[in-house]
Homo-oligomer: A and B are copies of this chain.
Amino acid sequence: MNISKFAEIAGVSKSAVSRYFNDGYLSQDKRKKIEEAIEKTGYAPNIAARAVRTRVTKLVGVILPKLSSESCSRVAEGISEVLNREGYKILMISTANDAHKEIESLELLRKNRVDGIILLATVFTDLHKSVLSKVRVPVVIVGQYLKGYNCVCHNDREAAYMLTKRMLENGARRPGFIGVLMEDRAAGAARREGFDKALQEFGLGCDPQFTETSRFNMDSGYDCMRRILSRKKIPDAVFCATDDIAAGAMLCCREKGLRIPDDIMICGVGDSKVARILYTPLTTARLHYKTAGTEAANMLLSAIQNGDAIQRALQLDYDIIERESTQRNK
């Protein structure tokens, strides 16, 4: 069933049908005829054909490293809420943290003539930048700052600074750090900077023995903590770059018989579900993931609809959630 056959059935012209579906001028008479014919045939216009003609796909590409990560899926939820409400569809691509797949996905979205792209990436290589620069549609980057692009990000540095400061104020003197790759400017480098800044203010340094680099999951956090605890000296507080890492670290401490926060304080970042219900409730920084998603979507829509040429970077505030895991009786 196409528009011609349908028009014939409805007893009107193709143009009338097209106008019906696109808010054009139309008499009540024809409008009724068309509605009846829809009822009878179930006709719905072919969106792909419309896209060819209008060069508008009403499609937005969303690239993210992992669908089944709490932070990513919360961002995605926010994006979806706004975009679907505004009549946009989402082409969702999960890259499994594979930089190569990110590049491929960008290409794929280009072929599909999406109206815009939202990119959640962890690490930007030169290749990323080069491919991005060739993309001709609006782009919004979530979770990272990249000069020259619309960005929505968190205040990673300050959140990490405040959390670390809190642990030091509560009496920690041998701070440790389980971070992620420094190539990840936000979750890696910025959080480390915040951590270091707090240490500096207290005239402390971080013993290399107390530092490990983790991946974004509990098991890896567990392993890192195990390595740290296997050494001669052990820290009395550990900043973990994410809540999942902190959960793994905590699990390990518990197994080794270390009391939290008395023997060792632990904090995370993200205020995920696990933070609240951990064996020892976890001190963390609430980052507004879902809001990041809605803001990114709004930013993209405004760029698509108004052809905004000027790029903007939005930084969302955080909240420190202090729970048991850092509240030592001084």
Contact = CB atoms under 8 A, between A and B. Distances in A.
Question: A67, A80, A90 — which one has the most chain B CB atoms within 10 A of its CB?
Answer: A67
Interface residues of A, number: 49
A51 B47 CA distance: 10
Nearest to A51: B48
A310 interface: no
Interface stretch (A9-17, A105-113, A143-151, A184-192): A105-113
A111 B44 CA distance: 6
Interface in A21-49: 42, 44-49
Contacts of A276: 218, 251
A290 interface: yes
A226 to B, nearest CB: 16
14 contacts: A44-B111, A46-B113, A48-B49, A48-B112, A49-B52, A52-B52, A73-B73, A77-B94, A84-B93, A89-B112, A92-B92, A218-B277, A250-B277, A279-B279
A290 B277 CA distance: 24
Interface of A: 42, 44-49, 51-52, 57, 62, 66-70, 73-74, 76-77, 80-81, 84, 89-94, 96, 107-108, 110-113, 134, 218, 244, 247, 250-251, 273-274, 276-279, 290
